[in-house]
Each structure stands twice: as structure tokens, then as C-alpha cells.
Amino acid sequence: MDKWKRMEGELQALREQHLYREIKVIESPQRSHVRYRDRDMLMLASNSYLDLCDEAQVKAYAAKVLMEYGTGSGGSRLTTGTGICHIRLEDALARFKGREAAIVFNTGFAANSGVIPCLCRQGDVIYSDELNHASIIDGCRQSRAETVVYRHNDMADLERKIRERPGRQGLIVSDGVFSMDGDIVDLPGLVELADAYGLLSMIDEAHATGVIGATGRGCEEHFRMEGRVDVLMGTLSKAIGAEGGYVCGSHTLTEYLKNKARSYIFSTSLSPVTMAAAKRALELIEEEPWRVERLQENISFFCGRLREHGVEAASETAIIPIRIGEEEKAVKVSERLLEQGFFIPAIRYPTVKKGEAMLRAALMATHTKEELAAAAAAIARTIALA
Ligand SMILES: *Cc1c(COP(=O)(O)O)cnc(C)c1O
């Protein structure tokens, strides 16, 4: 028996369905212009919404911390891996989100997959939006609780499903900004149901922090519902421009997670440099409000330009889906845009449903209006020709 045959067969099938994934290697720092295939490209796909991955003040602070505290943390958080930089960042996060406390995980993925099994166990119920991120889905699976998937952002469907399971302990969990469609959770509806039925509420702010709310504080600020979500989870890897995941909430919550979350306990903590970069970036979001403001301006400008060219586009967040449909066509459009110097990948099954392939544009605070106008025109022209 050939032990590689199954893998090779499945890879071949992916190629035939235009679903085979290739790594694209970026040859410069992540910023609004990158080097790719040996040329300059306008980056319209990065999660670095505030363009802080290569920011001079963040780098200067991180470099100083690097020389002072070194490259590695040397242990897990509960052994030797908690340094001053970890604590400073957690304090800064708790303050930024207006919460009693914060706890940092190694990635957003590790936060979701570690936290959800702490909050819920066998016998409990988790209500999870059908478009939630893979890390939430994995967390639900690992918890062994009953996972009930409700229709996307549909609070009536959610309430019906809660009523079918009266008196059960559990959690409602949702992306704050959905990672493929860029739409925003119905937070007032979700929190009202959680409170009415005695369930915990958990929101994943991965694409919300630094993007929505007048000062970029995320979903609660967007809806003027500060302090209402029980478990505010997010990542430091997107608008913050560093690495790591976090949860903000009550002392009870963070102390519980420190004692119970396996991905926190059994993994070496992030380096002091990473913690320092994230902390300085958070400060910059407060010190330089123009970043969030410019990003929000860019979003409405770019969507407006696309619509003027006859391309349907509407988003309040930095993620702007442009529907294509067929996988093959989406890949072709994306390739042609690359040839013209615009980096906008095609998103395909299994990330989105089959036959619902799209371009997923992601904006940055530092894109200029001229760049966005040129991109919108090129996108419209390329789709029309494909
Ligand atoms: C990116 C993302 C994560 C994972 O965060 P990482 O820090 O990249 O591991 C979790 N949830 C959502 C909604 C995301 O988009």
C-alpha cells in the first residue's frame, strides 16, 4: 500500500477544482505597498488595517525592549514565561477596553480554542453563529458542550434555539466583525438575549479592534454598549500589527482562564519584543486618532468608488467583499489584478461556500484616495473583462 496515495489524490482533486492553495511570499515588510514577485504592489488584502507592522515608533520601542529583555520568554506563563512586558501589555489592554483585567494568549486562535472549553463543558450549550471563525468552531468542538449553530446574525433564530433548550447553562459566541463578509454582529440583540436567558456573551473582536467605534475600541464602542459583553476576545495580530490573542473581562474571568485554559498553560509565552510592539501600537491608536479616522474615511470612499463603477460594495469595516461566484473566475480576476500591481486575493471554498468565491479587499489607514480610486477602477475593469 502506498501511504502517500490518499494525500496525493486529494491534492490532485483540489487542483482540478481550482481550490489548490499556494503560498504567496511577500518580499518586504507588511505595509500599504509591498514587494511581491519582484515588483511594487498596492496591498489591498492585509489585516494590518492601521499599517502598524512597520511603524517607526513601534519598531523603535520594540528594538529597545529587544536589547533589554532579549528574544525569548523561556517558559509558559505560569512557570518562567511572564515578564514585565507581558503584564504591561495586559494592563494596557484592560484599560483600552475599559475592563477590570486582560489575559494574553499566544494567538487569537489559541485564545478561542482555549477559552471556549473553559467556559462550557459537557451538558452546557454553546450558541454559535454559522459564520464564526474556525478557531471558535474548534473551541466549541473541544468543549464537548452541545453546539447549536444559528443562522448568520439572526437573533430570532437564536432566540428560538435558546427557547428549545430551557434552563441550560451556556454561552452565545459570535465574531464581532465577520472575517469574510465584513459585516457587524447585532450586538444589542445578542447581549439582550444573553442577559434575558442567563447565558454568557462572547465576542471575537479580531477585525473590530482598531477599526470600528469612534476611537477604534471595537464593537461595544460602535454600539455605545461599553462594558456589556462578558467575554471580549481579540487578537493583536491584525490592526495592532503584532502577534497574540487576548481576552478582556472581569477578574473572575481572567483568573479562571489563567488556572484552566490549556492553550495558556501549556505553551511557551510570546517574546517580550512582541508584547512591547503590541503595547506601543495600542498607545499609538490613542495618541494618533487620525489612523482610525482615516481608515473609516477610506472605507466609505472605496465602497463609493466601486459602486460608481457598477461593482456592488458596502461595508462599515475594513473588509470589503466583492462577489464573483465561480472559483475559477475569482482566481483569474485576482491574478489579472496582481499583474496590474494590485494585491487582492480570491477567497474560495472552504473559507466560503462553494460557488460563492469572492475578492476580499482589506483597507488600510495609509492608503491614499488616489490609490483607492485607481484600485476601484481596475477591479471594475478586470471583472468586466474576465
Ligand atoms: C484572525 C482571526 C482569529 C485568529 O487570530 P490569530 O491571532 O491570527 O490567531 C480569530 N478570530 C477571528 C475572527 C479572526 O479573524
For the segment 186-237, what is each residue's pLDDT rounded down to a tens digit?
Answer: 999 999 999 999 999 999 999 999 999 999 999 999 999 999 999 999 999 9
Report the C-alpha gap between 115 and 111 in whole angstroms.
6
Residue ranges per domain, the chain?
Answer: 17-46+289-385, 57-287
Examine the residue annotation and report whether 353 is marked as an active-site residue of this protein: no
17-46+289-385, what's its fold?
Aspartate Aminotransferase, domain 1 (3.90.1150)
Per-residue pLDDT tens digits for 223-256: 999 999 999 999 999 999 999 999 999 999 999 9
Report the C-alpha gap between 211 and 319 in whole angstroms.
10
Query: Which atom of ligand 1 is closest in space to residue 135's alpha carbon?
Result: 10
Query: In b/e form, how buried is each residue of 262-290, taking b as 16+ CB within 10 angstroms?
Result: ebbeebebbbbbbbbbbbbbbebbeebee
Residues 6 or more apart whose CB falls under 8 angstroms from that of 167 comprise none
pLDDT at 352 exceeding the cut of 90: no
Query: Which atom of ligand 1 is closest in space to residue 207's alpha carbon?
Result: 15
Using a 6 Å CB cutoff, which residues line ligand 1?
107-109, 112, 133, 135, 175, 179, 204, 206-207, 235, 237, 245
Q: What is the pLDDT of residue 351?
A: 85
What's the DSSP call for residue 271? P
Q: What is the pLDDT of residue 22?
A: 86
Residues 258-269 have a mean pLDDT of 98
Per the residue annotation, which of 86, 133, 222, 238 is the catalytic one?
Answer: 238
Residues 55-77 have a mean pLDDT of 97
Find the range with the poorest average confidence among 54-58, 192-196, 347-351: 347-351
Which class in CATH covers the domain with range 57-287?
alpha beta
Q: What is the pLDDT of residue 49?
A: 98
Q: What is the pLDDT of residue 126?
A: 98
How close are the terminal C-alpha atoms of the chain, in Å? 44
DSSP 3-state of 182 = coil
pLDDT at 61 exceeding the cut of 90: yes
pLDDT at 277 exceeding the cut of 90: yes
Q: What is the pLDDT of residue 131?
A: 95
The residue type found at 50 is L
Examine the residue annotation and report whether 238 is marked as an active-site residue of this protein: yes
